[in-house]
Protein backbone atom coordinates (compact mmCIF):
# COMPACT_ATOMS: atom_id res chain seq x y z
CA UNK A 1 0.00 0.00 0.00
CA UNK A 2 1.44 3.36 -1.09
CA UNK A 3 0.83 6.15 1.41
CA UNK A 4 1.31 9.89 1.13
CA UNK A 5 1.70 11.32 4.63
CA UNK A 6 0.77 14.96 5.30
CA UNK A 7 1.73 16.72 8.51
CA UNK A 8 3.95 19.40 10.00
CA UNK A 9 4.39 19.61 13.81
CA UNK A 10 6.06 17.32 16.33
CA UNK A 11 2.63 15.88 17.17
CA UNK A 12 2.54 14.22 13.72
CA UNK A 13 5.96 12.54 13.93
CA UNK A 14 4.88 9.44 15.95
CA UNK A 15 2.17 8.62 13.38
CA UNK A 16 4.64 8.84 10.48
CA UNK A 17 7.21 6.87 12.45
CA UNK A 18 4.78 4.03 13.22
CA UNK A 19 3.74 3.74 9.57
CA UNK A 20 7.35 3.83 8.38
CA UNK A 21 8.68 1.38 10.98
CA UNK A 22 5.90 -1.10 10.23
CA UNK A 23 6.87 -1.40 6.59
CA UNK A 24 4.23 0.72 4.90
CA UNK A 25 5.46 2.28 1.68
CA UNK A 26 5.66 6.03 2.24
CA UNK A 27 5.56 7.41 -1.30
CA UNK A 28 6.12 10.98 -0.06
CA UNK A 29 5.74 13.27 2.90
CA UNK A 30 3.95 16.59 2.41
CA UNK A 31 4.69 19.34 4.93
CA UNK A 32 4.64 23.11 5.25
CA UNK A 33 7.44 25.11 3.63
CA UNK A 34 10.42 25.96 5.84
CA UNK A 35 9.83 29.11 7.91
CA UNK A 36 12.20 31.70 9.37
CA UNK A 37 12.68 31.29 13.12
CA UNK A 38 15.01 32.28 15.95
CA UNK A 39 17.14 35.37 16.39
CA UNK A 40 18.64 35.28 12.92
CA UNK A 41 15.38 34.26 11.24
CA UNK A 42 17.12 31.27 9.66
CA UNK A 43 14.89 28.88 7.75
CA UNK A 44 13.67 26.12 10.05
CA UNK A 45 12.48 22.74 8.76
CA UNK A 46 9.35 21.24 10.32
CA UNK A 47 9.71 18.21 12.64
CA UNK A 48 8.05 16.06 9.95
CA UNK A 49 10.55 17.20 7.32
CA UNK A 50 13.47 16.46 9.64
CA UNK A 51 12.13 12.93 10.28
CA UNK A 52 11.50 12.32 6.58
CA UNK A 53 14.96 13.48 5.55
CA UNK A 54 16.63 11.44 8.29
CA UNK A 55 14.90 8.33 6.90
CA UNK A 56 15.37 9.02 3.18
CA UNK A 57 11.72 9.80 2.42
CA UNK A 58 10.69 12.14 -0.39
CA UNK A 59 9.52 15.54 0.90
CA UNK A 60 7.10 17.90 -0.86
CA UNK A 61 6.59 21.43 0.50
CA UNK A 62 3.97 23.20 -1.61
CA UNK A 63 3.18 26.85 -0.92
CA UNK A 64 -0.33 26.25 -2.23
CA UNK A 65 -2.16 22.93 -2.30
CA UNK A 66 -3.92 23.85 -5.57
CA UNK A 67 -0.63 24.52 -7.38
CA UNK A 68 -0.59 22.67 -10.72
CA UNK A 69 2.97 21.38 -10.25
CA UNK A 70 2.17 20.01 -6.79
CA UNK A 71 -1.05 18.39 -8.01
CA UNK A 72 0.83 16.71 -10.87
CA UNK A 73 3.49 15.42 -8.43
CA UNK A 74 0.78 14.08 -6.13
CA UNK A 75 -1.04 12.41 -9.01
CA UNK A 76 2.22 10.82 -10.26
CA UNK A 77 2.80 9.25 -6.83
CA UNK A 78 -0.32 7.11 -7.37
CA UNK A 79 -0.94 6.76 -3.64
CA UNK A 80 -3.51 4.29 -2.40
CA UNK A 81 -4.12 6.32 0.75
CA UNK A 82 -3.32 9.70 2.26
CA UNK A 83 -2.77 9.99 6.01
CA UNK A 84 -3.15 13.52 7.34
CA UNK A 85 -2.07 14.51 10.86
CA UNK A 86 -2.07 18.13 12.03
CA UNK A 87 -1.96 19.63 8.54
CA UNK A 88 -3.91 22.23 6.60
CA UNK A 89 -7.44 21.82 5.32
CA UNK A 90 -7.20 19.94 2.04
CA UNK A 91 -9.06 20.90 -1.12
CA UNK A 92 -11.35 18.14 -2.38
CA UNK A 93 -9.20 17.57 -5.47
CA UNK A 94 -6.33 16.61 -3.12
CA UNK A 95 -8.20 14.40 -0.64
CA UNK A 96 -10.14 12.62 -3.37
CA UNK A 97 -7.03 11.58 -5.33
CA UNK A 98 -6.06 8.29 -3.62
CA UNK A 99 -8.16 5.23 -4.48
CA UNK A 100 -8.76 4.44 -0.78
CA UNK A 101 -9.29 8.07 0.20
CA UNK A 102 -7.84 10.04 3.03
CA UNK A 103 -7.59 9.48 6.80
CA UNK A 104 -7.36 12.58 9.00
CA UNK A 105 -6.15 12.22 12.59
CA UNK A 106 -7.14 15.22 14.69
CA UNK A 107 -6.09 15.89 18.28
CA UNK A 108 -8.67 18.51 19.16
CA UNK A 109 -11.80 17.72 21.14
CA UNK A 110 -13.60 20.64 19.51
CA UNK A 111 -15.01 18.64 16.56
CA UNK A 112 -16.65 16.35 19.14
CA UNK A 113 -18.53 19.34 20.55
CA UNK A 114 -19.33 21.10 17.26
CA UNK A 115 -22.97 22.08 17.06
CA UNK A 116 -23.64 21.49 20.75
CA UNK A 117 -24.27 24.29 23.24
CA UNK A 118 -21.29 25.10 25.43
CA UNK A 119 -21.60 23.98 29.04
CA UNK A 120 -19.20 25.10 31.72
CA UNK A 121 -16.93 22.19 32.64
CA UNK A 122 -17.28 20.40 29.28
CA UNK A 123 -13.72 21.20 28.37
Confidence category of residue 93, pLDDT binned at 50, 70, 90? very high
- DSSP designation for 96: T
Q: Are β-strands 42-44 and 35-37 bridged in parallel, bridged antiparallel, or unpaired?
A: antiparallel
Q: Per-residue pLDDT tens for 20-42?
A: 999 999 999 999 999 988 788 88
Ordered by where they begin, the domains of the chain are 2-106 (3.40.50.170)
Query: Which of residues 94 and 113 earns the better pLDDT score?
Result: 94
In this prediction the pTM is: 0.85
Residue 74 CB partners (closer than 8 Å, separation 6+): 4, 28, 30, 60, 94, 97
Strand partners, 104: 84
- Give CA–CA dist 16/94, Å, rounded: 19
Residue 123 is predicted with a pLDDT of: 46
Residue 106 is predicted with a pLDDT of: 77
Nearest to 97 by CA among 63, 66, 57, 119: 66
Amino acid sequence: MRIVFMGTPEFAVPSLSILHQNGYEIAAVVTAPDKPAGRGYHLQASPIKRYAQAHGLMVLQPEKLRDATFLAQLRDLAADLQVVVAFRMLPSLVFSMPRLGCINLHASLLPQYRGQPYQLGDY
